[in-house]
Amino acid sequence: MALLVSILYFLVLSCCLEATAARNYENTLTVENGGPRGNWGAIELCPEGYARGFALKVQERQGILRDDTALNGIRLYCTNGEVIESKTGPWGEWTEAKYCPKRNLISFTLRVDKRRGFGHDNKAAVNVRFICQGGQVLTGNSYKSGDFGPWSDRCSSSSICGLQTKVEDQQGSGDESALNDVRFFCCS
């Protein structure tokens, strides 16, 4: 009897632990033009499925002699209905989500406002653009200043399933930059 109870306990525990096991990703998509400031947040992955859409947290322009941070966060909308985000800056509002028409996100490029030095309003990352399976391009609703860098590699036999953002913490005074860089992850 004790053996039977131990076996049942093991089976129940195995079932539950397997259901909460972390998902693995197969490769990381990066770009070379991300900003240097800040710290990397946690890696966040869709529990299952892939990223089909995204939204941006953007601070609207503050006007002359006021500090703009531009891009503060990125959310991914997973095919299973989950919404994930990594580290996010405190400023701005979330834009309306944009979705691939049929499939999932597979590559990205980052628009960066180049560092102008002391005495200027340095913003770092200001927008992001994605390619969907099928070739459609989705551009975030954010600033048009700065330049888009080269495209990242593409997820080869999979799609984007997660992200990790590099965000400068609030400095309290002076020039804030918020989101500086991002990595996306491909899952099979």
DSSP 52-76: EEEEEEEPPP--TTS----EEEEEE
Give the whole-angstrom CA distance, residue 76 versus residue 97.
9
Q: DSSP code of 36? A: S
In this structure, is the dihedral angle defined by the CA atoms of residues 153, 84, 60 and 124, taken in order, positive or negative? Answer: negative
Q: pLDDT tens across 113-158, in order?
A: 875 555 444 558 889 999 999 999 999 988 678 899 999 999 988 9
The confidence score (pLDDT) of residue 99 equals: 98
The confidence score (pLDDT) of residue 35 equals: 87
The confidence score (pLDDT) of residue 6 equals: 44
The confidence score (pLDDT) of residue 19 equals: 36
Give the whole-angstrom CA distance, residue 170 versus residue 159.
33
Could you tell me if 177 and 22 are in contact, meaning their C-beta atoms sit under 8 angstroms apart?
Answer: no
Give the whole-angstrom CA distance, residue 183 versus residue 16.
30
Structural domain 23-187, CATH architecture: Aligned Prism (2.100)
The confidence score (pLDDT) of residue 69 equals: 67
Sequence-distant (≥ 6) Cβ neighbours of residue 166 within 8 angstroms? 34, 35, 37, 38, 39, 40, 41, 87, 179, 180, 181, 182
Instruction: Work out the number of other CB atoms within 10 angstroms of the CB of residue 98.
Output: 18
Longest dimension (CA), the chain: 78
Domain extents in the chain = 23-187
Q: Which residue positions in the chain have pLDDT lower than 50?
A: 3-21, 119-121
How many whole angstroms from its chain centre is CA 169?
17
